[in-house]
A and B are shown apart, each in its own frame.
Chain A
Amino acid sequence: MGGIKRKADEDVKSAPPPTKRDKKASVATTSAPSAATTSKDPLEEILASSNSLFEYLENLPPRALKLIYALPAPRGPLVAAAVLRSSSLTDLARQIALRLVACGGTFKIQTIVESWIHRHGSRDAFVALRRLECMGILMPLGLATRPGEEGTDIDDEGNEAKRAKLMEMDACLTDQFKTAMAAYLITSCSSPWPLITREQIEEYKKNGDIKKQQDGEKESKPSRDPPTLKELESYTQSSWDSVLHFLVGSDESDRGEGIKEPDEAMVGFLTQIGLMQSDPDYKGKDNSRAPLVITSKGYEFMLRDSNAQVWQFVLQYLNALAHHEQKDQIRVEALSILICLGSCRVGEGYHMSVLGSKYARVVIKDFGRFGLLFGCRIAGKNAFYPTEAVVNLVASSEKAGREASAIIGQSVAASRALEDALAAPVPSRTHLALVVQTNFQVVAYTRSKLHISTLGLFCDISTFRKLPNVIFFHITRDSIRSAFRLGVLADQILRFLHVHAHPMLRNSDQPLVPSNVIDQILLWDKERHRVVMDEVWVHQCRDDAEFTAARHFASDLDALAWGAAHTNKLYIHIHYAEQVSAYVRRWRTKQAGR
């Protein structure tokens, strides 16, 4: 009996198809020689779950950070300054770091903890030191915990000795950070690369024309004027929208003008990072021709705000680099470029040639593909222009920090969006303000097809009423349930409704979403778990005696799902089907023989 049971277990084990995640982990193991551990790379996993750029940096080994600080000026110093400003450091940590920079770089920890800081602040001081160590600002003190290690609290009673020992140590700035920070303070350079100046363009126009005449239209791509701010914005929007539209699979007609299908590399990337997959229901023979459909991870992605979406993309890109043999170098380049882009201003452009390394150019090109950068030819050379999306990526994660402030940030964004909408006679495509009414009506102030598609995930699409700048939906049980079936969570829906609530609601003391709607959505969510599906085998017994005997046997085996006495039917868990049917056969022969 036990043997059979074990067999069943094995069946179960072999049953689930290898998921995407498994596959990925295995790939990671084959090409992850660096880092501390062996079989799986916990570092990569932690990195992959970072919520913002600076959280990502925190999770990096200090060694990698130091490499970034050491980049030649002005990039290294800019990164150092950005890190110092970021939410990764506490106020105290910033104080300590700056003071150390100004005072030569080395102090005894005891001095820092006891005389720099109020005596009740010693706990905070250790936190600050730990953070500084994490960010590669201080030389290793043994305070910081790396993934997989047990964190020890220095304030614990039992750690007196360790604490005393620590007090004797020196807090010493890393050379890289010290030099970078000093350089930053002295030069206070704000631009990571030399800008394209107007003179350059004008000069080129003068000379270029002559040159062109001489060369006779040899140039493959003509130069153009630098893009305007509006052009940059619409470029980002359209390239970003094209990705999102592709994700939700809106039809050609649904997409606004100017939005094209994303290029193949992008599509490949979308499947690679698991936002899309080829249709599992595809019945055709050639699997490669199966249509792509959005995954539940993709739905989650859709319901986030756009800053988070951009970060998710960048993060996935960084993760994908893990497979590259030169990953450390590329990653350092990519991170430094990201941070440096954060200190750029929208509308300023740079020549590709200012980038030192080959990797940097690859990274810049990739970012351009996401619509984070605008690439063009200016003054006869390839140039790139950072867009608002990438500049905000750094700025928002610098400011946002933890959850509480994140929510405020979002609401600010929403009200700003609406103010913009009110100011502009024709609201741009990006604004979304929701009013959820007690009668389950969702009123969405938007013109974007994308928002409508997103709302269509959980609203009843058969009864929408669309007006020029607003659309009316109803939330119904069916619509919410179909969203659940697609893998959307109740929590995601509610968060989406909250984040995009109409600013008018924020000014009043009423809840952003009526409580009865929230309750109902949660109830519908609960409803799903009320019914547990189980596979059973139905056995029709011949008579009462057989029914009694078989039921007895099955219930002893814990195999009985349900027995209906008045019809003499037994419902047996599918794994025990053979066993029970064998028993019934035996029982019948025994009866016949009697």
Chain B
Amino acid sequence: MEEDDLEIDEYQSAKKLVQRAADRESLLKRSGPSHQPASEDLNFTVVQDTSLGSDFSSLPLKPDHPSRPCWTCPDGTIYLEAFHDLYPKAYDFLVAIAEPVARPEHIHEYKLTPYSLYAAVATNIETESIVRVLNRFSKNALPEGVAKFIRECTKRYGKAKLVLKHNKFYVESEYASVLRELLRDDLISQARVAKETDGGGNTAGGVNNPDGFVVHTKAEEMEENLRMLREMDGDSSDDEEDEDGDGKKKAAAKTTVSFQVKGDSVEVVKRRAIDLDYPLMEEYDFRNDKVNPDVPMDLKPHTRIRRYQERSLSKMFGNGRARSGIIVLPCGAGKTLTGVTAAQTIKKSVVCLCTNAVSILQWKYQFQLWTNIPNENICVFTSDKKDDIPPESMGGCVLVTTYTMISYGGQRSDKSAEVMNAIRSREWGLLLMDEVHVVPAKMFRRVIGSVKAHCRLGLTATLVREDDLISDLNFLIGPKLYEANWMDLTTQGYLANVQCVEVWCPMTGPFMREYLMADNGRLKQLLYVMNPAKLRATEFLVRFHEERGDKIIVFSDLVYSLKLYAAMLKRPMIYGETSERERQAILGTFRTSDALRTICISKVGDTSIDLPEANVIIQVSSHFGSRRQEAQRLGRILRPKSYTQQDGSNRSSFNAFFYTLVSTDTQEMFYSTKRQQYLIDQGYTFKIVTTLSEKADLEAIENDYAYKNSEDDRKLLRTVLTSETELEKDQRAEDTAIRKNNPDGARLADLGVKRSAGQTMAQLSGGGGARYQAGPRKVHPMFAKRKKR
């Protein structure tokens, strides 16, 4: 099938690009030392070899370094002082060009990667401005390797664009030479539309230049996106020369040249361009798209867009055209509104993909809440409900569906097949992908093959995965356009200020004994989840917070224990097998009524269940060391509460609580540390509480808890030990149920935390950095004597 070829091609192109990016990155590593003076060189490599950290102390420091906020290391790491006067400017700049690795309170860490630079170029930041501004912010003289790396990475990216304008595809560039080089390729030149047939296409003020290229004035980038560059360039009086050069360049950059390519050979051109290492960035000039009908929707007057949402969208629509890319916003920070606004700006037909039925409803609801879209122009496509897609004559439409529905490869019902055909046969303006980090690559390929969209927007809270599939997204969707800082949003009151607490529950004697003797992982897990001290602590916390009037979610990955916890607390629970209707009923009661203050949820609740009222999470069991799950769960309570202060004082008091119960001396301790890493890098702190379980033990006796004495513990242990098979059955049933309902769960249900080695894209999301690399430990010279012989 031709379509199949196409999708695989696109995927393989992405792979190629990823490989190339990795090559470039390794180039940075190698190029580092070679640009040092020879003597330094030796030193440098020695340090690297022994994996004793990295020594860049030989970098020359500028004489006025205190007035500059960053350090730039030869390996592309950038450190930023968050307490520096220039911090706000430097922050905007660094976020645009580098990946944030860790953003605690005082000193941030960023990393230059090919992807981050790719993203920077995509938003029209020029190579030389990056080098110049970075040098200006840097306390130490910019290492040559870094400058070279930046130039190398941005030399070809973004130099040529594929623009969809007036429903015709143009390859556009500021540099005629680039186009000439592209045209030297046979396939591309064949794809070029001959001038004669061009006709009325380029009436928009275009002038043809000697090469036959159409010359246009360049679409100006929004002022806001470039301000940080201008400001830094502007108030520099120290190098006049730069200023002049910049001025000239600006004047030169006003025009672009382009040639048109045939619509049916666009894919070929794209592929060839990648082979030539001029990957085409796609832009969609939606304002001039007269062929695809508009969707009649506008934001309602009461809709207010927050500053950071505006920033993220301005990155997307920076030059009046739509770029593909990913926007990363913390859970609860209004991703949906951002998506809706993006759709509303393009005003063309939209396919909106989510992970499960619950979030479909939420998306539809939000579209109707924020915009005046008519009911008949928004349709839902699920296994239960298959709305007809309105004909094009009625205007564009918004289609909300799940990844599974689109990518399903098996036999479909007639109705379903009909809708799918309608989807395939259409041109879509925007492909909106929620929770884009969970989509398995295979499914992703099918989606992209089925939906012909001119622009793709991915939304996620945590661009982090335990494997390295994130890197593909950079090329399948587009670069990361924006990533918000959790702590800043918290300070500004857009997120609840969460107190993260790790509660240590000592294993009771008999449980510990069984734990030590247990030979399979499942049983071990069950034992530390069912630790009676944990049960008591849970009941204690639930009682405490219910009395305060809080709304509580109890999370347990293990269905067997979820059932037991729910039974102990006498509260309803939601897990994979819970029917949709029951689920909605429970969530509805939880949202609206004070009668139900606590619900127990399995991992189905990790994402996309919107419970704005909840402000306490008690996590009793979790998916091993998944950093993403931890962040997603925290996201359930991040939505600002009615009493969250927006005047900047939000940081001073906590208004939401995230408890993780950990059985001491078990594997859980290890997993828990690993899980927290992502949030710690975002600036969260975990407070460790060791005394709570003692208090809970006392309370248990006083207030007659379900498990209060050692007799109860023994009974519990007996049940636990005899129910291993039941547990297995439960868990399997849960996994199948989840796999059936949403792809997100499928990822989660597939056990096994894949560890990536070497070059990973985990770096994209804060997973990178030396800390994760396990190497042979070297003894510090200080202790060498002691260990000798």
Chain A residues packing against B (C-beta within 8 Å) = 248-251, 254, 279, 281-283, 291, 293, 422, 425-426, 435, 437-441, 443, 447, 453, 456-457, 461-472, 474, 482, 486, 504-505, 510, 514-516, 519-520, 523
Contacts and interface: CB of A to CB of B under 8 A. Distances in A.
A472 B77 CA distance: 12
B55 interface: yes
B317 interface: no
Contacts of A425: 63-65
Interface string B676-698: 00001101111110100000000
A456 B782 contact: yes
13 contacts: A279-B788, A281-B789, A291-B785, A439-B102, A441-B102, A441-B107, A461-B778, A463-B770, A466-B53, A467-B79, A472-B79, A514-B685, A515-B685
A519 B56 contact: no
Given A279-B785, A438-B685, A466-B57, 13 more contacts: A249-B782, A250-B782, A279-B786, A281-B788, A293-B786, A438-B104, A464-B54, A465-B53, A468-B59, A486-B783, A515-B685, A516-B687, A519-B687
Contacts of B688: 516, 519-520, 523
Contacts of A282: 789
A515 B102 contact: no
B780 A516 contact: no
Contacts of B77: 465
A426 B680 contact: no
Contact of A251 (B83, B687, B781, B786): B781
Contacts, number: 122
A243 B77 CA distance: 36
Chain B residues touching A, range: 35 or more
Interface string B105-121: 11100000000000000
Contacts of B784: 249
Interface centre among B52, B83, B687, B782 (most CB of A within 10 A): B782
A437 B771 contact: no
Contact of B107 (A283, A422, A437): A437
A465 B107 CA distance: 14
Given A462-B777, A464-B52, A465-B73, A281 B786 contact: yes
Contact of A469 (B58, B61, B73, B785): B61
Contacts of A470: 71, 79
B51 interface: yes
**Complex A-B, nearest 9 residue pairs according to Cβ-Cβ distance, in ascending order:** A464-B53, A437-B104, A516-B685, A468-B61, A438-B685, A461-B780, A439-B680, A466-B55, A466-B57
B66 interface: yes
Contacts of B687: 515-516, 519
A467 B71 contact: yes
A482 B778 CA distance: 13
A438 B681 CA distance: 9
B391 interface: no
Contacts of A462: 51-53, 775, 777-778
A469 B139 CA distance: 10
Contacts of A519: 687-688
B511 to A, nearest CB: 17
A457 B780 CA distance: 9
B615 interface: no
Nearest to A519: B688
B741 interface: no
Interface centre among B55, B105, B139, B687 (most CB of A within 10 A): B105
B17 to A, nearest CB: 30
Nearest to A290: B785
B690 A466 contact: no
Contacts of A441: 102, 104, 107
B140 interface: yes
Contacts of A471: 57
A472 B770 CA distance: 12
B60 interface: yes
B782 A523 contact: no
Nearest to B780: A461
Given A291-B785, A462-B51, A437 B106 contact: yes
A510 B140 CA distance: 29
Given A466-B53, A468-B60, A470-B71, A504 B83 contact: yes
Contacts of A482: 783
A226 to B, nearest CB: 31
Nearest to A482: B783
A283 B685 contact: no
Contact of A283 (B58, B690, B789): B789
Nearest to A468: B61
Contacts of A293: 785-786
B680 A523 contact: no
Contacts of B107: 435, 437, 441, 443
A258 to B, nearest CB: 17
A254 B65 CA distance: 25
Nearest to B689: A519
Given A519-B687, A520-B688, A474 B771 contact: yes
Contact of B690 (A249, A426, A523): A523
